[in-house]
Amino acid sequence: MFILVAGFAATDIWRFLGVYLGGKLSEDSDLLVLVRTMATALVAAVIGNLIVFPGGALAHTSLDLRIAAAALGFVGYLVSGKRMVVGIATAESLLLAGLYLNF
């Protein structure tokens, strides 16, 4: 029930509104830009928390290792011309190498 109200309803309302408004509101309108930046910052905050305050097995790794793996993975993503596979693979192999070397 919790999932249905806080999850399903809270996401699909935007999808429905999107269909309804499709074509009526310009994609570049100022209000939409503000809404997009807020949503982006919120999801970025989720990412930051997942890296700085992780759970489970990832919590046993050092913060430096996690930040270094994520940052270098992101650099790899940018350098490779925004290829997600490169970014993810770089971060994962650095993390595993760091764990293996007990870093």
Binding site for another protein (CB under 8 A): 2-19, 21-23, 25, 27, 32-58, 60-61, 66, 69-70, 73-74, 77, 82, 84-85, 87-88, 91-92, 95-96, 99-100
Minimal distance, residue 64 CB to another protein, in Å = 14
Q: Which is nearer to another protein, 47 or 64 (CB)?
A: 47
Minimal distance, residue 36 CB to another protein, in Å = 6
**Structure tokens belonging to residue 76:** 């790899």
Angle at Cα 40 formed by Cα 74 and Cα 61, nearest 5°? 45
Cα(57)–Cα(33) distance, integer angstroms:
38
Minimal distance, residue 20 CB to another protein, in Å = 9
Q: Which is nearer to another protein, 18 or 64 (CB)?
A: 18
Look-up: residue for tokens 């806080």? 6
Q: Which amino acid is at 61?
A: T
* DSSP helix/strand/coil, 70: helix
Minimal distance, residue 75 CB to another protein, in Å = 11
Q: Hey, how many other C-beta atoms are within 10 angstroms of the C-beta on 86?
A: 17
